[in-house]
Chains A and B, each alone.
Chain A
């Protein structure tokens, strides 16, 4: 596995943006490097260039944009890191512990009942605070897991276990993220009613 990893390391989003492979992305540096690169390859810099160069620049700029998007978002970043280890999150990956699912159902139920409450907006705020703190917690757990993962180490067996755990954590995070999105949609709906 570590061999696979090394092979894919040569040309990945981290190296593309001049950063070390890590879950703990230095945001300031990420943005700074992103700006520097876009200054040199953005299509606006090739407005007078040949058709070939214009086409290449659009493709490259799109790739850099995708890299930024991926690395600045913790969920996407962890999915990407897992993919570097050859682990893909499929559509049928629903191996989540029952306790977590129960919690989710409860939260969803609360959300669907928000409209009937006396003060729906502050009720929604409570749910959103709850979801945000769960997201923060999950990201922290992921951070610790990825830190233990030695990205070019030989201790493969240990890594296997950690990766499995990380994957489970990402799946949870996806759930929470979707819930947060629904909360925000709800907020928009409520706001439009006023």
Chain B
């Protein structure tokens, strides 16, 4: 293990070093990875020159090194021979419960005891969607390390803007399993806007219409001087090219008079449906041929017009979110500068036509709809690791769904409304219903509907340790925070007594920390020793980060914002931390960091306020006149 380098107090740190960062588009059908090469964002190809990695994982077995899998093109080719062990479109199952995913699925789903997460039964054992996605991410990670020739500092991973909390959390868990340091989850349409906006530099209001393999997003953004401000977003996290394939599959099954196709036949028909769809974007007609077995072949001809009639209701379904996004953004079609098409499904002529009619403008299709998201993510990753390529760039995104709480009578009370800029924090006060009540159950939901049963259950938790009082006397303030990744966290406090109540948030369809820990241990990248070493290393890195940051802060603002006593106290704390970080007691280092945090919190707060004042300084001068 490399020794930790810590510079002398007051000394500036090493010269600026270019850090390796990647952007990953973890798609329903295909996934991509991109990185910045001498200022230019490019997708990275595999050794055969393929940029797209089919999001397909074939499970072959399991040994001490974890799952044996085939990922990508090979897995895709094996899918029709080994359909039950070859997982396609796993993104549709992320953060979802059993009821949501059974439809149109050929897999054998099971739920284990003590877990709410559905798993797919394979020859390698029962695997969750998170683990399947982790296999895809591992492949992309490996590809990047080989291409870039070094360890990765971190990754930005994109998710559909309309993904809810459970789906985002599942994506982050998958990255953790794959051993990736997630710098940020960003929304796919926002990433596309970054790629597009930085490409053309055009200011104004842009609409991103993103129809992928399994999800649909519409985002309306305003671009001003490097700031990408999302005005509104809407969509459908279960509508995409796959659904068009399903419509066509149903048609084939009916026309060919197939009774209850088995998994292999169904996989074959689904593949034919996808190919036909793609052909009909290029040609007016397509010939289909299905091998029914026993030397029976079914053949048919399908015209684009017939196909369009089948899929039109689904495309029309995407216009409802478009209308809502316009309304939430408070703009008219006239205000829109352009509509950018993203996602493989926007190659379909009917999609382009209907979107063009809806927004009364010819949609832009000149950027590669497959690659644009990964490229935008790579740009943002580069900014986040501090490579200063697009220094002035800032993304201001929103939360796609309202966050609410269950109240009496099964109604949802909204705490944070959809399309609120993130990060956001809102507090809500609660009181007790009965005398002497010491606990209360809180149910958090996401969605727009009034009835709890129509919203998605996010989490249930219990507030405990409320001091016994008469009914209605306690005042419990619960704070809901959505961070820059769009993820929710909750904290609570009883205000009259000052008691911090313990909260355990149980994600309704998420893996528990224990389950993730077990998966990490099972996977070959982290044998038990490795986990301990890794934890120590992580905490040492954080220690060096704290020391580095504090030294820089002292140099910059120590004289201005601190008294000499305060400076002495902080210097001493830094020295102690440096000493402790040299040893390998993970817990001691962690505790010391916490102690240093406590001592320096006020300083950090003052620095934050000072930087706000500095940001406003230019404006303030004008005010003086």
Interface, chain A (partner B; CB < 8 A): 16-18, 29, 32-33, 35-45, 47-53, 56-66, 68-69, 184, 188, 191-192
Q: Is the CB of A32 within 8 A of B600?
A: no
Q: Is B484 an interface residue (CB 8 A)?
A: yes
A65 to chain B, nearest CB (A): 5
Does A58 lie within 8 Å of B423, measured CB to CB?
yes
Majority-rule SS of A interface residues: helix
Against A, the Cβ 8 Å flags (1 = close, 0 = not) of B533-563 are: 0000000001001100100000000000000
Rounded to whole angstroms, the CA-CA distance of A65 and B482 in the bound complex is: 12
Query: Smallest CB–CB gap between B320 and chain A, Å?
Result: 6
Q: Quick one: closest A residue to B183, CB to CB?
A: A47
Contacts of B545 in A (CB 8 A): 48-50
Residues of A within 8 A of B620 (CB): 18
For residue B392, which residues in chain A have a CB less than 8 angstroms away from its CB? 39
B385 CB contacts on chain A under 8 angstroms: 47-48
Q: How far is the CB of B11 from chain A (nearest CB, A)?
A: 18
From A39, A40, A44, A68, give the contact of B484 (CB < 8 A): A44
How distant is the Cα of A29 from the Cα of B618 in the complex, in angstroms?
Answer: 12
CB-nearest residue of chain A to B317: A192
Q: Which residues of B contact A47 (CB under 8 A)?
A: 154, 183-184, 384-386
Whether A58 touches B483, Cβ cut-off 8 Å, given contacts A39-B394, A44-B383, A52-B601, is yes
Cα–Cα distance between A192 and B424 once the two chains are bound (Å): 31
Report chain B residues within 8 Å CB of A29: 619
Query: Across the interface, do A62 and B396 meet the contact criterion of CB distance under 8 Å?
Result: no
For residues 380 through 412 of chain B, which have their beta carbon under 8 Å from a beta carbon of chain A?
380, 383-386, 392, 394-396
- Closest chain A residue to B489, Cβ basis: A58
Contact digits for B573-614, partner A, Cβ 8 Å, 1 yes 0 no: 000000000000000000001000100110011001001101
Q: B613-625 CB contact bits vs A (8 Å, 1 = yes)?
A: 0111011100100
Q: A52 touching B600 by the CB < 8 A rule? A: yes
Please give, as numbers and ranges, the residues of chain A lying within 8 Å of B614 by CB-CB distance.
40
The verdict on A41 contacting B611 (CB below 8 Å), with A47-B183, A52-B597, A62-B425 known, is yes
A-B CB proximity, top 5 nearest: A47-B384, A18-B616, A62-B425, A43-B484, A36-B615
Secondary structure dominating the interface of B? helix
Does B105 have its Cβ within 8 Å of any Cβ on chain A? no
Decide: B484 and A53 in contact? CB cutoff 8 A: no
Q: List B contacts of A17 (CB < 8 A).
A: 616
Cross-chain pairs A/B with CB under 8 angstroms, 20 sampled: A36-B616, A36-B619, A39-B394, A39-B615, A41-B608, A41-B615, A44-B383, A44-B384, A44-B394, A50-B546, A51-B593, A51-B597, A56-B601, A57-B608, A63-B425, A65-B421, A68-B421, A69-B420, A188-B320, A188-B327
Question: Taking A58-B481, A58-B484, A60-B608 as contacts, is the C-beta distance between A50 and B184 under 8 angstroms?
Answer: no
Of the residues B481, B549, B619, contact of A32 by C-beta under 8 Å:
B619
Q: How many A-B residue pairs have CB under 8 A?
A: 117
Q: Contact residues of B with A, CB < 8 Å?
A: 154, 183-184, 224-225, 227, 320, 323-324, 327, 380, 383-386, 392, 394-396, 420-425, 481, 483-484, 542, 545-546, 549, 593, 597, 600-601, 604-605, 608, 611-612, 614-616, 618-620, 623
Q: How far is the CB of A163 from chain B (nearest CB, A)?
A: 25
The residues of B that contact A60 with a CB separation of less than 8 Å are: 608, 612
A66 to B481, CA, bound (A): 12
A192 to B317, CA, bound (A): 9
A16-B612, A50-B545 known, 10 other contacts, Cβ within 8 Å: A29-B619, A32-B619, A33-B616, A47-B386, A53-B549, A56-B605, A60-B612, A65-B423, A69-B420, A188-B323
| Chain A residue contacts of B601, Cβ below 8 A | 52, 56
Q: Which residue in chain A gives the minimum CB-CB distance to B186?
A: A44
Complex CA distance for A38 and B228, rounded to whole angstroms: 12
* A69–B425 alpha-carbon span in the complex (Å): 12
Q: A44 and B227: CB pair below 8 A?
A: no
Contact check: which of A39, A51, A56 meets B608 at CB < 8 Å? A56
Whether the Cβ atoms of B423 and A43 lie closer than 8 Å is: yes
Q: Are A69 and B323 in contact (CB under 8 A)?
A: no
On chain B, the residues within 8 Å of A42 by CB distance are 394, 396, 484
Question: Are A191 and B323 closer than 8 Å at their CB atoms?
Answer: yes
- Given A42-B394, A43-B483, A48-B385: A192 touches B183 (CB 8 Å cut-off): no
Contacts of B597 in A (CB 8 A): 50-52
Query: Shortest beta-carbon distance, A151 to chain B, in Å?
Result: 16
A182 to B608, CA, bound (A): 41
* Residues from chain B with Cβ under 8 Å of A37 in the complex: 612, 615-616
Q: Give A33 to B542 CA distance when docked, in angstroms.
A: 33
- Given A44-B383, A59-B425, A184-B327: A49 and B618 within 8 A (CB)? no
Bound-state CA distance A18–B615 (Å) is 10
Q: Are B600 and A40 interface neighbours, CB within 8 A?
A: no
Residues of A within 8 A of B327 (CB): 184, 188
Complex interface: chain B residues within 8 A of A32 (CB) = 619
Q: A43-B484, A44-B384, A48-B385 given as contacts; is B227 within 8 A of A35 (CB)?
A: yes
Residues of B within 8 A of A63 (CB): 425
Q: How far is the CA of A154 from the CA of B213 in the complex (A)?
A: 65
A58: chain B residues at CB < 8 Å are: 423, 481, 483-484
Report how far A97 CA is from B601 CA in the complex, Å: 51
**B380: which A residues are within 8 A, CB to CB?**
44
Are A52 and B604 within 8 A (Cβ)?
Answer: yes
Chain B residues with CB below 8 A from A50, complex form: 542, 545-546, 549, 597
Q: Which residues of the other chain, B, contact A59 by a CB distance below 8 angstroms? A: 423, 425
Cα of A62 to Cα of B479 in the assembled complex, Å: 12
Closest B residue to A68 using CB positions:
B421
Q: How far is the CA of A70 from the CA of B402 in the complex (A)?
A: 18
Nearest-neighbour CB distance to chain B for A7, whole angstroms, equals 19
Contact A192 B320 (CB under 8 A): yes
Residue of A with least CB distance to B448:
A185
CA distance A100 to B404 in the complex (A): 31
- A contact residues around B383 at 8 Å (CB): 44
If A41-B612, A42-B394 touch, does A65 touch B227 (CB 8 Å cutoff)?
Answer: no
- CA A51 to CA B380, docked complex, whole Å: 20
Q: How far does the alpha carbon of A61 sit from the alpha carbon of B397 in the complex, in Å? A: 12
User: What residues of chain A lie closer than 8 Å to B593, measured between beta carbons?
Assistant: 51
Whether the Cβ atoms of B423 and A33 lie closer than 8 Å is: no
Q: Tell whether, in the assembled complex, residue A38 and residue B396 are in contact, meaning their CB atoms are under 8 Å apart.
A: yes
Contact of B424 among A33, A45, A49, A66 (CB under 8 A): A66
State how many angstroms separate the Cβ of B198 from the closest Cβ of chain A.
15
Chain A hits for B225, CB < 8 A: 35
Measured in the bound complex, the distance between the Cα atoms of B19 and A48 in whole Å is: 12
Name the residue in B154, B545, B616 with the highest tally of chain A Cβ atoms < 10 Å from its Cβ.
B616
Q: Is the CB of B323 within 8 A of A40?
A: no
Chain B neighbourhood of A41, CB < 8 A: 608, 611-612, 615
Query: A33: which B residues are within 8 A, CB to CB?
Result: 615-616, 619
Query: Once the chains bind, are B612 and A40 in contact (CB under 8 Å)?
Result: yes
Q: Assess whether A61 is in contact with B423, with CB atoms less than 8 Å apart.
A: yes
Q: Which residue of A lies closest to B422 (CB)?
A: A65
Partner of A53, one of B227, B425, B604: B604
